[in-house]
Each structure stands twice: as structure tokens, then as C-alpha cells.
Amino acid sequence: METKEIIEKLSPMERKVLPYLEEPIEKIGEKSGLDATSVLRALEFLKNKEVVKIREKTEKIVDLDVNGILYRKKGLPERRLLNIIAEKKTIDMEEAEKHSGLNENEFKAALGALKKKALIKLANGKLMLEAKPEEITKKSLEEQFLDSLPLNLEELKAEQKFAFDNLKKRKNIINIEEKKTVTVEITSLGKKLISSDLKEIEESKMLEKLTPEMIKNKSWRGKRFRRYDIISPLPKISGGKRHFVNQATDYARKIWTEMGFEEMSGSLITSGFWNFDALFTPQDHPARELHDTFFIAGNSNLPDKRIVQAVKQAHETGVNGSKGWQYNWKEEDAEKTLLRTHTTCLSAQTLVRLREQKDEGKKKGKFFSVGKCFRNETIDWSHGFEFNQTEGIVVDENANFRHLLGYLKEFAKKMGFEKVRFRPHYFPYTEPSLEGDVWNEERGEWMEVFAAGIFRPEVTKPLLGNAVPVLAWGPGFDRMIMKIFGIKDLRDMYKNNLTQLRDIKFLVK
């Protein structure tokens, strides 16, 4: 690139720093009248034009922390304690602590440091001096180290490294800070540019923009405009957008709605009745223990007594010819308040609302939900204690197991999963029951997402009033989101990493 062409491309900031490139970087800002950020930006522009090379060096600097500043002024705790013991030769420990002016933690640290160096000994609650006179007057390695700070961590000598290792174990004495140094090296092209007539550069100022006013009054004629630099990289601009998890849940809503489903909604906080009992989960089931479920203080109100009594009967003696669980069902367990462990509690509540419909033709339908659930899980790449689930039920006397598999396959396909497999499983509230897996291309393994089945009569009879077939499912939706956005670890979804959030593309389906 010729010098003249570069001159024609120089921005106002570059023109201001150009005469001072041979100065230290802090002087460039001072002499050019630009702030530090503008100077660095101008240097970056000049770097793109190959006028300068920018070198960055990061050093770890050891310096005094809050306590270190105090101790360099007043002396380390062990120095202050040693001076008292040296004066008395022998002193009660309680008296030494009182006169030292040290707090409890400092006194213990000082005691340990002096004993470790064999400068004192402790016997019968008394502290006795063991140090030689020269050991008392000579500064310790730690004291010498504090006096010499700040220092480059990489350049510490052996004695300084020893003192550093001892002091870094103690609270707020030393601190390590990263110091970044930026240096500017002028290239041969830059030197040629600087050696040219700077007055010519100054006089070659060109217009930065074309305004409507200039077009209107034609004042642009005869003027020179600065060349546009279309090669140099520009800062990436990140526009506002919804969090990618919210984008995915919106997309799931769209899928279910297009498939003719109506959305269910409800509180994140529910009762044991709706979360467990209404779904025929026995009151001694492991899922109802603290190690699986997050409970909240206080009790919840139960629904209509007829519903409660019908659920109680299903548990104790059964319905539709079943024997139930054969135990004494306790209302107080059903009243416990908790964070819902699945969105299936919304399905149970929907069945009760359908029961209340006077028109028999309205006691059926297709319903879905997408929402948060909470379980006391061990966190790993595919599990979290907080997760999204998408719930679905189909209430229809003609519904069957083949329909259930069809709904699940269709939803998985629309979410981008071509490979799906189903396995027999057991849930207290469905029969038959299944689990479904989708193939995770990122990890090269099957990933469990579906839990589904047909509600048992012990669920439908008490809630709906009739043992009508109800297809039900509750995929772990967060695992599907991982596939959509190429995320390999579930934990990365909720880190609020700004770089990640900016880089993830907007979901367009």
C-alpha cells in the first residue's frame, strides 16, 4: 500500500497519534489528547494498515494486600509477639495475647509461625523464648519479602519463593495481579510514513461523511472524502435477542399448537397431592423423599373433597377392579408443599377441569405445557436440579398406544431428531409405560428424553370420572435444546456466558 493511499485512509484518531508513535504508549495519549481507549483503537487501526506492530505482555505481579499493607507498617503478627516474649523471656499465653494487640486468628498464626521456626516453646500455658539474640533482631524472610514488594512472580529468587509460599497461605497479606503491558513497534512502512511531511498529512484532511445538507446545497463539490477501509476487521455488533432457551420453548409451543394442542399452565409450587397422589404415586415412594424432591415450608390446600376421597380410595383399595396400594393414605402427606418435579401435575389438574364440563363432547382434547421442573439431582453433563419439560396429554376414548408413539416421533422429528428408539419402562401412573431415546450426534450416544405411557384407571377414574384412555408424555426438553444449539454439556445452558449468548445463532425453523 502506497504512503499516499494510507494517508487518505487515516481517521482523525490515527492522525492525532501518528506523530507520537515513537513515544511510550502512556505518553501518546497525553500528547495526542486522546483517552486510553481511543489511543488503543487508533493503534489497532494503524496495525491493520501495517504501520505498527502491537505487542502485549502479561505479567503476574505480587503485591501487598490489605493485611500486608498493615503488617509492613506495624510488623507481622509473629514479629510483634516475638518482641513481647523477648522482653519477658517467659510469659503466660493469655497475657501475651492481651499485650500483643493481635486478634485471635492473628495470635494463632503468630504462635504457629514462631513454633515452626523453633524461636519459642510452649509449656504449661507459658511461652518461653528459645531464639538467639541475632535471630530476634534479624528480619525474617517473610519480612524481607514484604519490604521488597511489588515483584514479578516469575522472577522470584529461591528465598523469595519460600517466603511467598508461606505468606500466600495466610489471609489478605499478599495479592497477585495481572499486569498487561502494551508496546508499539513501528514498521518500515510506518517509519516511511512518519518521515514524510507531517504537514502534508495534516493538510490532507478529508471529509469524514456526506450529509443531507451537503447534498442539498451541493457543498460537497470539489471536496475530498476519506477513503473507506473495507478490508480491516470491525468490532462485532451483537443485537438484542431472546435467550436461546426461551427461543426453543417458544418453538416447542409452536409445534404443539400446529399439531392441534391447547396449552396448560400452572404454578411452579404445588402440593404433594397434585404432584404425586393424583398420579397414583404411593406415599412411601422414594421420589417423595428429601433426597429427590425440594419441599417448601407450609401446607397447601387440597381440592374438592370428592376428588380427594376418590384419590384416597384408589390408593387404599383401588378402582376398576384393581387392589390399589393397600395402605392407609394420609391427607397430611398430600398437603405438603413442594417445587413441582414434573409438569404432569398440570395434566392431573386438566383432567379435573374436563370432568367439570357439562357438555360430554368437551370432556376430551389435546393439551401441552412447557415449563420448569425441579429435582434434587446430582449435576452432570445431562442432569440438572432445574430443567425444562414439555408435557402432553391426549384425552380420547379412541386413543391407543400406536397414537402415542406417533405423537412422540412427530415431535422429535420437528425438533431435529431423526433417530428415535423406545424401551419398555415402569411409572406408577401409566400402563403401558415407555422411555424414549434420541441419538446425540455431538456425543455419539443415545440420550434419554421421553417418559411416556397411558394413564392408569387409578389416575383417570378419580380425576376424570371415567377410565378413558389418556396418552401422556413428558420429555426432558433441555436435552433437546442441547441438540438444537450444539451444546455438549447441560450446565452450559445456564451459565449466562455473554460470549456464548452472543455467538449462538437465532433459532429459525
Tell me the pLDDT band of 230, cut-offs 50, 70 and 90: confident
492 φ, ψ (degrees, to nearest 5)? -70, -15
- Residue 229, pLDDT > 80, answer no
- What integer is the mean pLDDT of 416-432? 91
- Residue 365, pLDDT > 60, answer yes
User: Measured between alpha carbons, how far is 167 from 188 in angstroms, rounded to an integer?
Assistant: 48
User: Measured between alpha carbons, how far is 278 from 459 in angstroms, rounded to an integer?
Assistant: 6
User: Measured between alpha carbons, how far is 474 from 387 in angstroms, rounded to an integer?
Assistant: 12
Contact 488, 252 (CB under 8 A): no
**Radius of gyration from C-alpha coordinates of the chain:** 37
Tens of pLDDT, residues 276-289: 999 999 999 888 88
Give the pLDDT confidence score for residue 282 in this predicted structure: 93
Q: Are strands 336-339 and 151-152 parallel, antiparallel or unpaired?
A: unpaired
- Higher-confidence residue of 101 and 355: namely 355
Maximum C-alpha span of the chain: 102
* Full set of structural domains in the chain with CATH: 3-51+187-217 (no CATH), 64-178 (1.10.10), 246-503 (3.30.930.10)
Q: Are strands 269-271 and 386-395 parallel, antiparallel or unpaired?
A: unpaired
User: Measured between alpha carbons, how far is 107 from 3 in angstroms, rounded to an integer?
Assistant: 69
Give the pLDDT confidence score for residue 88 in this predicted structure: 82
Taking alpha carbons only, the member of 8, 45, 52, 1 closest to residue 200 is 8
181: Cα separation from own chain's centroid: 31
User: Measured between alpha carbons, how far is 466 from 340 in angstroms, rounded to an integer?
Assistant: 26
User: Measured between alpha carbons, how far is 142 from 153 in angstroms, rounded to an integer?
Assistant: 15
User: Measured between alpha carbons, how far is 191 from 6 in angstroms, rounded to an integer?
Assistant: 13
- Residue 254, pLDDT > 90, answer yes
User: Measured between alpha carbons, how far is 201 from 18 in angstroms, rounded to an integer?
Assistant: 10
Tens of pLDDT, residues 52-92: 898 888 889 999 999 889 889 888 888 888 888 888 888 88
Tell me, what amino acid is at 241?
K
3-state secondary structure of 397: coil
Tell me the pLDDT band of 460, cut-offs 50, 70 and 90: very high
Give the pLDDT confidence score for residue 441 in this predicted structure: 75
Contact 297, 337 (CB under 8 A): yes
- Residue 488, pLDDT > 90, answer no
Give the pLDDT confidence score for residue 363 in this predicted structure: 84
| Cis status, amide bond into 462, omega within 30 of 0 | no
User: Measured between alpha carbons, how far is 366 from 259 in angstroms, rounded to an integer?
Assistant: 9
Tell me the pLDDT band of 329, cut-offs 50, 70 and 90: very high
Tens of pLDDT, residues 425-440: 999 899 999 999 988 7
Place of cell 519459642: 120
Using a pLDDT cut of 90, give the percent of the chain over it. 38
Averaged pLDDT score across all residues of the chain:
87
User: Measured between alpha carbons, how far is 36 from 180 in angstroms, rounded to an integer?
Assistant: 14
Tens of pLDDT, residues 174-195: 999 988 888 888 888 888 877 7
Give the pLDDT confidence score for residue 316 in this predicted structure: 94
Tens of pLDDT, residues 102-123: 888 888 888 888 888 888 888 8
